[in-house]
């Protein structure tokens, strides 16, 4: 009996010493330091905001780089947000930009708070006493309850049967087509490689589309007026749909007939083109001279260069110089007529009406009088 009393007194003494060593406040059995996570030496406090503490309790360890650097002194709440007070070892160098994440040792293990620097960031500064890690920099791993509920959802047939159906269909589709699947992956690799090489062009195209969209947005009023203007025309086209269809059908039939005609006369057309080749070659050889010749041929008797000076509206300027002097008539006009023709000329010896003379019968011409001294025939002898 004495031994039991002594053991009870000893236990009370140990409990009193433990409470005394942790301060004057006693928050239950979880406030007593446990072996392995007790913080010794100088410490400083940091506040962490969490949306849900799950099964986290006080006196749970705080780890950084998988090393215990402190524990959770208190857990409180304000505005539906949990506030955790951490006691961290003074010699633990923790970066100021760390995030807090609620983790668990195993599926059925205890929970702890993990302080880590976000991936892709470099450690900056040192976490100081009184610092606050806000809610935006805290998160949590999936809890055991969430994992088990998701597993129960699958095992109860909610998704397992669908997965089996999908797997069966994939096996049925891909069975015997392994080579095609390999080629598909190769083609996909080539396609993705081409797209990767053309990233700059794709970005420029997207930027161009963005500028086009902005321009269209600024001209929305013009587009609205254009649509309103074209609406009546579209109504006319809609009303004449049958006529347009008939026209297009007729054009198609004409094209078919023309094709048949060309097919049937292909040899004749080829022969005609071959026969035209020499003519076209000669025309091509004198191609430079034809335009100059046409300038004169189409404007006789006035060249095209002088037409504007000769033709003045509805009249033509004509300048004529007539020389009827005796010297000109005798020396140039008569002199240019052969003597034999001059000898045959019979000047008019009687008056005649110039209007009726060409229509009247010609009178007998008198024999010419022989000149003096010319021998005459007598009796058929000279």
Buried b (16+ CB within 10 A) or exposed e, 244-278: eeeeeeeeeeeeeeeeeeeeeeeeeeeeeeeeeee
Per the structure block, which two tokens stand in for 147? 């994992």
* Residues 44 and 134 placed together within one structural domain of the fold: yes
SS3 70: strand
If one counts the domains in the chain, the total is 3
* Residues 26 and 57 placed together within one structural domain of the fold: no
378 forms beta bridges with 381
Report the alpha-carbon distance of residue 152 to residue 157 in Å, rounded.
9
pLDDT in tens, 302-360: 666 666 666 666 766 666 777 777 777 777 776 677 766 666 655 555 556 666 666 66
* Residues 70 and 130 placed together within one structural domain of the fold: yes
Q: What is the mean pLDDT of residues 31-49?
A: 71
Would you say the C-alpha torsion 321, 327, 329, 333 has a positive or negative sign?
A: negative
Q: State residue 345's pLDDT score.
A: 59
Per the structure block, which two tokens stand in for 154? 């699958």
CA 229 to centroid of chain Cα atoms: 28
| pLDDT grade for 287, boundaries at 50, 70 and 90 | confident
SS3 83: strand
Q: State residue 211's pLDDT score.
A: 93
In a domain, 369, yes or no: no
DSSP class of 381 = B
Tell whether omega for the bond before 301 is within 30 degrees of 0, i.e. cis: yes
* Residues 63 and 149 placed together within one structural domain of the fold: no
pLDDT above 70 covers a percentage of the chain that reads: 68
Report the alpha-carbon distance of residue 84 to residue 57 in Å, rounded.
10
* Residues 56 and 135 placed together within one structural domain of the fold: yes
Residue 8, pLDDT > 60, answer no
Q: At a CB cut-off of 8 Å and minimum separation 6, what does 174 contact?
A: 181
Q: State residue 34's pLDDT score.
A: 53
Q: State residue 248's pLDDT score.
A: 92
SS3 317: coil
SS3 364: coil
For all residues of the chain together, what is the average pLDDT?
Answer: 77
* Residues 19 and 47 placed together within one structural domain of the fold: no
* Residues 98 and 122 placed together within one structural domain of the fold: yes
In a domain, 101, yes or no: yes
Q: State residue 26's pLDDT score.
A: 46
Residue bearing tokens 């046409």? 294
| pLDDT grade for 293, boundaries at 50, 70 and 90 | confident
In a domain, 368, yes or no: no
* Residues 135 and 99 placed together within one structural domain of the fold: yes
Residue 295, pLDDT > 80, answer no
In a domain, 5, yes or no: yes
Residue 366, pLDDT > 70, answer no
pLDDT in tens, 9-32: 445 444 454 444 444 444 555 555
Q: How far is CA 340 from CA 328, 330, 334, 345, 348, in A?
A: 21, 16, 12, 9, 18
* Residues 43 and 28 placed together within one structural domain of the fold: no
pLDDT in tens, 150-185: 777 666 655 566 777 888 888 888 888 888 888 888
Q: What is the mean pLDDT of residues 232-260?
A: 91
| pLDDT grade for 377, boundaries at 50, 70 and 90 | very low
Exposed, middle or buried: residue 88 (CB in 10 Å: 0-12, 13-18, 19+)?
buried
| pLDDT grade for 7, boundaries at 50, 70 and 90 | very low
CA 158 to centroid of chain Cα atoms: 45
pLDDT in tens, 185-218: 889 999 999 999 999 999 999 999 999 999 999 9
* Residues 127 and 160 placed together within one structural domain of the fold: no
In a domain, 296, yes or no: no
* Residues 53 and 125 placed together within one structural domain of the fold: yes
Q: At a CB cut-off of 8 Å and minimum separation 6, what does 119 contact?
A: none
Residue 47, pLDDT > 90, answer yes
Q: State residue 149's pLDDT score.
A: 73
* Residues 16 and 99 placed together within one structural domain of the fold: no
- For the chain, how are helix, strand and coil distributed in percent, rounded to 5? 50, 15, 35
In a domain, 49, yes or no: yes
| pLDDT grade for 251, boundaries at 50, 70 and 90 | very high
- Is the CB of residue 51 less than 8 Å from the CB of residue 138? yes
Q: What is the mean pLDDT of residues 241-255?
A: 92
Q: State residue 25's pLDDT score.
A: 44
Q: State residue 250's pLDDT score.
A: 94
SS3 61: strand
In a domain, 257, yes or no: no
Domain range for 83: 39-141
In a domain, 273, yes or no: no
Residue 130, pLDDT > 70, answer yes
């Amino acid at each position: 009996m004495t031994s039991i009393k002594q053991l009870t007194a000893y236990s009370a003494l140990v409990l009193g010493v433990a409470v005394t060593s942790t301060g004057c406040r006693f928050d239950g059995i979880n406030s007593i330091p446990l072996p392995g996570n007790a913080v010794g030496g100088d410490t400083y406090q940091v506040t962490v905001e969490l949306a849900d503490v799950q099964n986290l309790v006080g006196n749970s360890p705080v780890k950084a780089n998988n090393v215990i650097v402190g524990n959770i002194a208190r857990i409180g709440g304000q505005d539906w947000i949990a506030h955790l007070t951490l006691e961290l070892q003074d010699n633990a160098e923790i970066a100021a930009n760390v995030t807090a994440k609620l983790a668990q040792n195993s599926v059925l293990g205890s929970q702890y708070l993990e302080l880590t620097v976000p991936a892709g960031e470099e450690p900056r500064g040192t976490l100081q006493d009184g610092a606050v890690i806000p809610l935006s920099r805290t998160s949590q791993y999936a809890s055991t309850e969430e994992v088990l509920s998701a597993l129960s959802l699958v095992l109860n047939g909610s998704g397992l049967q669908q997965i089996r159906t999908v797997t069966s269909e994939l096996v049925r589709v891909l069975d015997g087509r392994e080579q095609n699947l390999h080629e598909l992956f190769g083609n996909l690799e080539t396609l993705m490689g081409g797209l990767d090489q053309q990233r700059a062009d794709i970005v420029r195209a997207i930027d161009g589309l963005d500028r086009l969209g902005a321009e269209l947005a600024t001209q929305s009023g013009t587009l609205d007026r254009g649509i309103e203007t074209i609406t009546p025309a579209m109504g006319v086209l809609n009303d004449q749909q049958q006529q347009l269809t008939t026209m297009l059908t007729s054009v198609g039939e004409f094209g078919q007939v023309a094709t048949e005609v060309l097919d049937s006369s292909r040899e004749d057309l080829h022969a005609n083109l071959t026969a035209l080749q020499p003519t076209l070659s000669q025309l091509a050889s004198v191609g430079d001279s034809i335009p100059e010749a046409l300038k004169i041929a189409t404007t006789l008797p006035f060249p095209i260069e002088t037409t504007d000076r000769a033709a003045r509206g509805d009249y033509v300027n004509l300048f004529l110089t007539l020389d009827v002097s005796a010297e000109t008539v005798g020396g140039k006009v008569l002199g240019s007529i052969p003597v034999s023709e001059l000898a045959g000329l019979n000047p008019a010896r009687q008056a005649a009406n110039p209007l009726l003379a060409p229509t009247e019968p010609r009178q007998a011409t008198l024999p010419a009088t022989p000149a003096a001294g010319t021998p005459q025939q007598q009796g058929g002898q000279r």
